[in-house]
A and B are shown apart, each in its own frame.
Chain A
Amino acid sequence: ETGVTQSPTHLIKTRGQQVTLRCSSQSGHNTVSWYQQALGQGPQFIFQYYREEENGRGNFPPRFSGLQFPNYSSELNVNALELDDSALYLCASSPQGGNTGELFFGEGSRLTVL
């Protein structure tokens, strides 16, 4: 069984640029969530995708957007990067509807904005 994989693992961008992060969900999981984890903090919910539709969104501005593809993989796009966007971005997948409450996280993409 393949777990959640994310790419890239590390990247450096400058303020104002755009970034796309990618995630492949665990086999059999059709729900994908994205979380932002700043240093020393717990993960913060960005949004969730289920059946290619956004299925819940946290308190993040519209410059954070996403997609889910028919194979359940997902992308997180962040436009007009700000210094505070520097964080670990975690993708998590869960079985249908995520009813068990367990999320399976990837190892994350560590973004540094200079």
Chain B
Amino acid sequence: RKEVEQDPGPFNVPEGATVAFNCTYSNSASQSFFWYRQDCRKEPKLLMSVYSSGNEDGRFTAQLNRASQYISLLIRDSKLSDSATYLCVVSPSGSARQLTFGSGTQLTVLP
């Protein structure tokens, strides 16, 4: 079983749609959680950290359920520029010492 599992997609959605990505992790000792975004043939970039209370950044909302070891990302009012691969990431400590990445979920927003 992979340490971080994601639905690989692809998700093809029209502009303006709401799309949700899910992720599960196996290491209950994981302390920090993130979503990274990776554009085609580019490097990953931090999209947002995920906090236990849930957090929002504009059109993006992240949720964490520690009991179920489940992380989600919701994107509202999708834009063409949101097309990318979204990587669910966990860390066993409060630092970036060793990030464990999921395989990513590919999103294409269609005009």
Contact = CB atoms under 8 A, between A and B. Distances in A.
Contacts of A48: 97-98
B4 A101 contact: no
Contacts of A43: 44, 87, 99, 101
A106 interface: yes
Interface residues of A, number: 27
Contacts, number: 65
B72 interface: no
Contacts of A55: 97
A37 B7 CA distance: 18
Categorize the interface residue count of chain B. Answer: 20 to 34
B96 A100 contact: yes
Interface stretch (A12-20, A62-70, A79-87, A90-98): A90-98
23 contacts: A31-B96, A40-B8, A41-B103, A42-B89, A42-B101, A43-B44, A43-B99, A45-B99, A55-B97, A92-B96, A98-B96, A98-B97, A99-B94, A99-B95, A101-B94, A101-B96, A102-B46, A102-B49, A102-B96, A105-B44, A107-B42, A107-B43, A108-B43
Contacts of B66: none
A56 interface: yes
A28 interface: no
Contacts of B104: 41-42
Interface string A14-55: 000000000000000001010100001111110010000001
